[in-house]
Chains A and B, each alone.
Chain A
């Protein structure tokens, strides 16, 4: 970090320690290494400090020090992000929220909870589960990712088809603004007034400030759940089934697609009962009232059959249902069985374009001499092509990056988007012009300026004006530390 010599750095470390206490500030290069990447290890950047506050006042004081020193700062949760969004792209201070992980309040009468940003997503559902409630957004990394990180990325998950993404569940936030002021935006009520600041804050990828308290809705657990597996000999049939389900007036809780390559990997790894010779499988979940569930399940089965499914079966019990979901949710980890490395893409297309886009994705990847596995949220058109490659082979990673860019362009061409849930971060900043005009981007810049006029809060993200991003060019895949510990799956 330019301008921060050894003496000043030591001085600043002492001041940070005075705020958060000793043992809550890291500045040794070896310790900082853990925080140089998120789940997308293609990008790396080293911070000057990683600090672990335990209160909004701490965060505010850290931000004030950063501003005084003219240092950038960026909030970080579990580091499971997949776009480099929490990297200290220009050095400075990483503010880790992992020690702010309490559930502050649960109000069952009003079906809300107030939590700290470092709370692990799944831990909220665990806490309210015994009372018959859960927190709906369920990113596949939910065992590790934090609700604060979910706020930054407006995270989704398989069940967001019916229940919406993070933004649909957030009512209000206490935020440390980029100038250090602590402000509530939105509140505990279902509706706020004035501009929907909470609405624009969610998904702003940490560039509008740092959330220190979050008020979310919790939902009643559904009375009944039913999971149907459709097996297809052709991918186009599975795609057609997605449209057929919708045409029958159904909004399932989740509609997930898994292709042959992925099925093979999953079966090798876990043996979840997916037929290996199928071209694609659809995992469809219904939830809601027990009454009427069979009527709806019948419609799903018909929609799959009419689209050419060779087999449709309903999970007989919770164990079989869990096994099917395990296959889906562990698919990313299972790719290790078939490839030394892979890169996960995230794009969205109109549902009706699925057959065309999937075949084009295969062509694009094949043209680059690579293989692709698809496991994704078919119900809302959110693709996750995973390009398999070997980082030891010279030039292969560059081809992956090139194929990825072409897939993003394809999503844009069919009227889709370059990210459904992973965010723009560093990875896709240069793709933003695929879907946004210069005027759109300028408007977003001005919006950012209203929150973050100095630009010190998470610089270098979202916008296609990349100044520095750690190392130049892509670097070899390596597992993230939390992945190595088995705490998270790549998604």
Chain B
């Protein structure tokens, strides 16, 4: 990058808020070191940074907590890291409105703690809440087990302020929970991975904290039975807040005793005390005839460990893939996927949000050959499995050599062409996180 450009950027954010050289270590992604990392202190500074970068043709990589920084197709140029950590204030919280407006760099943990003090919460529970920022969570569309009942960022985000690739402040949505004025811009930024705008501020819907919350595990000797039990719970009167399945491998880090070929069904409930109590009993009654046994309450700490259970099954995974299928097809995907790995002599661990059909598959590196071929073959099998059931798969994490062999993103087909037009129309200089997203965006 031109030294004159860097000087201009330094002048905008102040030298103390520019990192270079060895300080860039935490911002190295897939071996690529950014040209600089900048931490603007206001929306206007973010605007000015993007404007200067766009003028100089330097790519901008919006950076929240960095928890999803490695997601995506490897970048051809690292560009400038634009860190939002100094934009971390809670701006407006009127409990009676059940909404909160905040800056994008606030961490999920800080937000939830501020809300909890006033009896409310944002019903979104992505992993790594201490590091993950609200802006990053929205850009990466991160979520957790409670999405079963409460949905994802798209259901909660009602207003967004972004800086476009041309350095313009744009606001979409608003501060009210119901709003159909103009196009639904907030939806556009959910899961856009920083490619359409730098999210600087958001307004989200809140919920009152439930009186009680509980998590229950039920063991099954055969994963098919666990799948049938998950479906039975879905078809029942119960209103679980989470409905998870973890296979035997992924059960280990959760300290659940599940035999080989078995599965644990983990169900969360919240609400007033007698509702939670009744449902915990009822879920045992419904699932026992289907082969469920050892119904046990889990400690509250397990909630945050559910998302990483499959990853935690192995010391160093070879790859992590996310398969999205129809909810009724999750167990089939898990069984066939594990079998596809076994056929190539590889271990795998599986967990899923059973009620929404989102499956996390982790391939073990133990026993894997150094060359990426067999790993890539398994991943391709997994993707084919998802596609066969009308779904899709994203390679959430893999070494570069594997990413070279297996595309990170699925083929978006004709919709991909609309996405490309959208990107070209909204980020005409192609400055925002270029080359990392779906359809080459």
Residues A420 and B178 in contact in the complex (CB < 8 Å), given A292-B275, A440-B171:
yes
Contact B183 A203 (CB under 8 A): yes
In the assembly, what is the distance between CA of A439 and CA of B192, in Å?
Answer: 20
How many residues belonging to B are interface residues under a CB distance threshold of 8 Å?
Answer: 84
Distance (Å) between the CB of A484 and the closest chain B CB?
27
Contact B275 A422 (CB under 8 A): no
> Which residues does chain B contribute within 8 Å of A435, judged by CB atoms?
174, 181-182
> Which residues does chain A contribute within 8 Å of B154, judged by CB atoms?
167, 196, 199
A223 CB-CB contact with B under 8 Å = yes
> Which residues does chain A contribute within 8 Å of B238, judged by CB atoms?
289
Contact B231 A109 (CB under 8 A): yes
A243 CB-CB contact with B under 8 Å = yes
Within 8 A of A (CB), among B300-347: 324-328
B184 CB-CB contact with A under 8 Å = yes
In the assembly, what is the distance between CA of A190 and CA of B178, in Å?
Answer: 22
Interface 9-residue window, one of A16-24, A42-50, A180-188, A466-474: A180-188
A64 CB-CB contact with B under 8 Å = no
Contact of A289 among B98, B99, B275, B324 (CB under 8 A): B275
Residues A199 and B392 in contact in the complex (CB < 8 Å), given A220-B237, A296-B272:
no
Inter-chain contact total with CB atoms closer than 8 Å: 259
A415 CB-CB contact with B under 8 Å = yes
Within 8 A of B (CB), among A143-186: 153-154, 156, 160, 164-165, 167-168, 177, 181, 183-185
> A352's closest neighbor in chain B, by CB?
B96
Contact B324 A432 (CB under 8 A): no
> Which residues does chain A contribute within 8 Å of B425, judged by CB atoms?
446-447, 449-450
B23 CB-CB contact with A under 8 Å = no
Distance (Å) between the CB of B149 and the closest chain A CB?
11
Interface 9-residue window, one of B75-83, B206-214, B216-224, B283-291: B206-214
B84 CB-CB contact with A under 8 Å = no
Contact of A194 among B170, B211, B328, B416 (CB under 8 A): B416
Contact B183 A380 (CB under 8 A): no
Contact B419 A195 (CB under 8 A): yes
Contact A111 B234 (CB under 8 A): yes
A56 CB-CB contact with B under 8 Å = no
Contact of B326 among A188, A194, A246, A420 (CB under 8 A): A188
B3 CB-CB contact with A under 8 Å = no
In the assembly, what is the distance between CA of A160 and CA of B178, in Å?
Answer: 9
> Which residues does chain A contribute within 8 Å of B98, judged by CB atoms?
246, 351
Distance (Å) between the CB of B436 and the closest chain A CB?
12
B263 CB-CB contact with A under 8 Å = no
Contact of A189 among B207, B279, B391, B413 (CB under 8 A): B391
Distance (Å) between the CB of B202 and the closest chain A CB?
15
Contact A220 B179 (CB under 8 A): no
In the assembly, what is the distance between CA of A153 and CA of B278, in Å?
Answer: 40
> Which residues does chain B contribute within 8 Å of A196, judged by CB atoms?
154, 187-188, 190-191
> Which residues does chain A contribute within 8 Å of B182, judged by CB atoms?
424, 432, 435-436, 440-441, 444, 462
Contact B180 A419 (CB under 8 A): yes
Contact B119 A249 (CB under 8 A): yes
Contact of B274 among A193, A249, A295 (CB under 8 A): A295
Contact B181 A419 (CB under 8 A): yes
Contact B356 A109 (CB under 8 A): no
Contact A423 B274 (CB under 8 A): no
Residues A195 and B192 in contact in the complex (CB < 8 Å), given A289-B275, A450-B421:
yes
> Which residues does chain A contribute within 8 Å of B97, judged by CB atoms?
350-352, 381
Distance (Å) between the CB of A219 and the closest chain B CB?
10
B44 CB-CB contact with A under 8 Å = no
> Which residues does chain B contribute within 8 Å of A283, judged by CB atoms?
none
B358 CB-CB contact with A under 8 Å = yes
B357 CB-CB contact with A under 8 Å = yes
Residues A194 and B181 in contact in the complex (CB < 8 Å), given A199-B154, A443-B164:
no
A305 CB-CB contact with B under 8 Å = no
In the assembly, what is the distance between CA of A453 and CA of B422, in Å?
Answer: 11
Distance (Å) between the CB of A402 and the closest chain B CB?
20
Give 19 A-B contacts (CB < 8 Å), ordered by A residue.
Answer: A154-B180, A184-B413, A184-B414, A190-B327, A190-B356, A191-B357, A194-B191, A194-B419, A194-B437, A246-B98, A289-B239, A289-B275, A380-B177, A415-B174, A419-B181, A421-B178, A424-B181, A435-B174, A451-B418
Binding site for A on B (CB under 8 A): 94-99, 119, 141, 151-152, 154-155, 164, 168-172, 174-185, 187-188, 190-192, 196, 207-211, 231, 234-235, 237-239, 271-275, 278-279, 324-328, 356-358, 390-392, 394, 409-410, 412-416, 418-419, 421-422, 424-426, 437-439, 441
- Beyond known contacts A194-B191, A443-B426: 20 more, CB 8 A cutoff: A110-B328, A184-B415, A187-B391, A189-B325, A191-B356, A191-B357, A199-B184, A289-B237, A291-B275, A350-B94, A417-B181, A420-B176, A421-B180, A435-B181, A440-B170, A440-B172, A440-B182, A443-B172, A446-B425, A447-B425
Binding site for B on A (CB under 8 A): 107-111, 153-154, 156, 160, 164-165, 167-168, 177, 181, 183-185, 187-197, 199-200, 202-204, 220, 223, 243, 246-251, 288-289, 291-292, 295-296, 348-352, 377, 380-382, 415-424, 428, 432, 435-437, 439-441, 443-444, 446-451, 462
